[in-house]
Amino acid sequence: MDLSSWILGLALTVLTIAIHTTAVVLMAFGLEARIRARVDETPDLRRAIPTVIVRIGAVALILAALHGLEGVLWALAYWWLGALGSFGEASVYALSTMTTFELPGLTLPSRFQMISALEAVNGVLLFGISTAFLFAVIQVHWQLLSHRHERSNDH
C-alpha cells in the first residue's frame, strides 16, 4: 500500500468536493433569490415553462463545467506525477476515470492505480451531489409550475 497515493487521492477528493459543494450552494442561493422574486407573480404558463427549461439547462451546464474543472485538477496531478506522457492524455484519463469509464490502451503504472481508484470514488460522490441538486431544482420548479397551473384553473 502506497501511503502517498492515499494522501494525494484523498486530498484531491476533499478539494474537488469542497469546490463542487461551494458552487452548488452558491447556485442554490442564486436560484432561491430568482424563484422567491417570482413566486407572487402569476405569469402565463407558456412563458413559465421555457424559463424553467432554461434554468435547469443552465444548472446542468454549470455542473458539467464543474466536473470538467475537477477532472482537470486530477489530470494535473497525473501529469505532475509523470503517470501519463502528456496533459492531453492525463485529461482524457482523468475524465474517463471520474465517470468510471475505462479507456482501452490508456493505463497507469501500477504505483498510481490507487490514486485512480480514489478518483473513481470521488467521481461517484461528485455525480451524486450533482444529481441530487439537479433533482432538487427540478422538483422546486415542478411544484411552482403545478401551483401556477392550479391558480390559473381557479380563476
Please spell the DSSP secondary structure of 11-54, one letter per residue.
Answer: HHHHHHHHHHHHHHHHHHHHHHHHHHHHSS----HHHHHHHHHH
pLDDT in tens, the chain (155 residues): 678 889 999 999 999 999 999 999 999 998 887 776 564 455 567 777 888 888 899 999 999 999 999 999 999 999 999 999 999 999 999 999 999 888 888 889 999 999 999 999 999 999 999 999 999 999 988 887 776 555 555 55
How many angstroms separate the most distant Cα atoms in the chain? 69
Amino acid at 138: I
Distance CA 114, CA 1 (A): 8
User: What is the phi/psi pair of residue 137, to 5°?
Assistant: -65, -45
